[in-house]
Amino acid sequence: MRAGFPDFRLGSVLATSFTGTLSERHGDAVERIPTPRRLADWLVLNGLAVDSCTAAQLGLARELREAIHAAATAAAIGNPLPSAAVQVINDRSAQGRAAAILTLEGKRQWRLSPASPVEDALGVIAADAISIIAGERDGKLALCASPTCRAAFFDTSQSRTRKWCDMNTCGNRQKKARFTANHRKKPRPAE
Ligand SMILES: [Zn+2]
């Protein structure tokens, strides 16, 4: 972590981890990629090795992030997909030229082109979003139950009943709130 910047929340699904770089959208929003450097840091941590980003590329990334958020939210609640958001996702996907590489250890890596590594990385994220919104992967899009969050997340639990985008933040906060409420309800012991 870099001092002075909000931490990243890392998840197992690339596209929704990316939308999580803006959290608490319905409360006190936290921008976790406030600078081009932080976008580069996030991409590197997620297996998309870029050296640096420009302010314009940060703009493209945030536009893609909000498009994925809008489309995933619509998909989660069964609404028609917003066409402007779909256009942005498709543009980023089409512009990316990343190659999937199989390592000898049997892992997938992304090879980004030297000429446009950030655009290629955004293309990988856009393609990941397409695969979950299109329902190609085992799981279900849902919205976080926290009223200040409402992040779209990809539920891969067996029962498909996950309520929170992240157990360590939203889930935990709710648990604590319930605990405090229960505690207050109990009558004070007689003195
Ligand atoms: Zn949440």
Residue 174 lies in a domain: no
Ligand 1 center from residue 111 Cα (angstroms): 32
* CA 135 to centroid of ligand 1, rounded, Å: 21
**What's the CA-to-centroid distance between 166 and ligand 1, angstroms?**
6
- Rounded to the nearest angstrom, the distance between the alpha carbon of 181 and the centre of ligand 1 is 20
Distance 136 CA to ligand 1 centre (A): 23
Predicted pLDDT of residue 92: 98
Residue 171, in any domain of the structure: no
Domain membership of residue 70 (yes or no) is yes
pLDDT tens-digit readout, 81-118 = 999 999 999 999 999 999 999 999 999 999 999 999 99
CA 159 to ligand 1 centroid distance, Å: 19
Cα(50) to ligand 1 centroid in Å equals 28
From the list 49, 77, 62, 79, the residue with the least C-alpha distance to 19 is: 62
Question: Residue 58 pLDDT more than 70?
Answer: yes
What are the tens digits of pLDDT across the range 13-48?
999 999 999 999 999 999 999 999 999 999 999 999
Does 61 reside within a domain?
A: yes
Ligand 1 centre distance from Cα of residue 146 (Å): 5
Nearest residue to 162 via CA among 12, 29, 6: 12
Within a domain: 39: yes
**Residue 20 maps to a domain:** yes
User: How many domains are there within the chain?
Assistant: 1
Q: CB count, 10 Å around CB of 33? A: 23
What global pTM score does this model have? 0.90
In this predicted structure, what is the pLDDT of residue 1?
52
Q: Is residue 123 part of a domain?
A: yes
**Per residue in 140-183, pLDDT tens?**
999 999 999 999 999 999 999 999 998 888 988 777 777 777 77
CA of 120 to the centre of ligand 1 (A): 28
Where in the sequence is the domain holding 86, given as residue range(s)? 14-139
127 falls within a domain: yes
